[in-house]
Structure 1
């Protein structure tokens, strides 16, 4: 009788345990701050999804809050202990006109009992500015340059700096920014 009870106990133990098995989604980080980018840039970040459970994790759906966000995942079934990358892309076109900072949410639906999981992309989208060409002469007067975080400066061959350092001075805050640090700008070169 004791032997039957012992056998029944072990059968229950080993047959009953799989009922407690479950997948468990772990994400290497729940958000990514992309900092400051110019309007129109495409921000891309890869999150690592890992199944830390003891059953196969099935990704049913990845949802996002606008068509400016896309994703790529190589497979939707993740074995226990396995990891897969989830690459999220956010196209920032038009977002500089919105209140800052910007935040985009991606929601992952799966068979994890703690479903769903959210990850976020956040940062600031700066307006791009264009200006007419401004001709500078080395040692010449200061000329106003439109406020912008990023612009391209071209030095034309007809007005060389003759070895002088070309610098941009922000008169609002007094910072001087060398256009190409430690590099002499030759005629015809472009510095971004």
Structure 2
């Protein structure tokens, strides 16, 4: 009987005691690079900028969904089409700017993306700001606001392209 009482006391004591906490890991996940700069531009930034540009001349609210919106290749006609697609594109541009700052990304010619150059950081911030401006303009559902937002995207892209994409000297001197 005494053993049974000690067993019950031990069970109660362990049930009421504070559980041991696991030590927190101090490692921050590191971003991995899988694509070259040109792939980020053509696969993410270019198509999303085009959605923002389309909202200048055609009201996204007037764009009819595709016959099957879940398989639409036109984001404006997809399940998340209309103004939602334009909002999403603004956020994508702002977030994709972060991809342009990850160490290890390469230009199409194999050179490292110049992430440490002060002008590169400024150009990336300009793109991030233009993406957020586009997102906010899309939230307002006002095409006049989209004109200003699209202009901000054009300016942000041109600033960087003038220095890095359209650089004379052929592919060896460029970063795309």
TM-score (norm 1): 0.25
Q: Which has the higher helix share?
A: 2
Q: Which has the higher strand share?
A: 1
TM-score (norm 2): 0.27
More relative contact order in 1 or in 2 (CA 8 Å, sep 6+)? 2
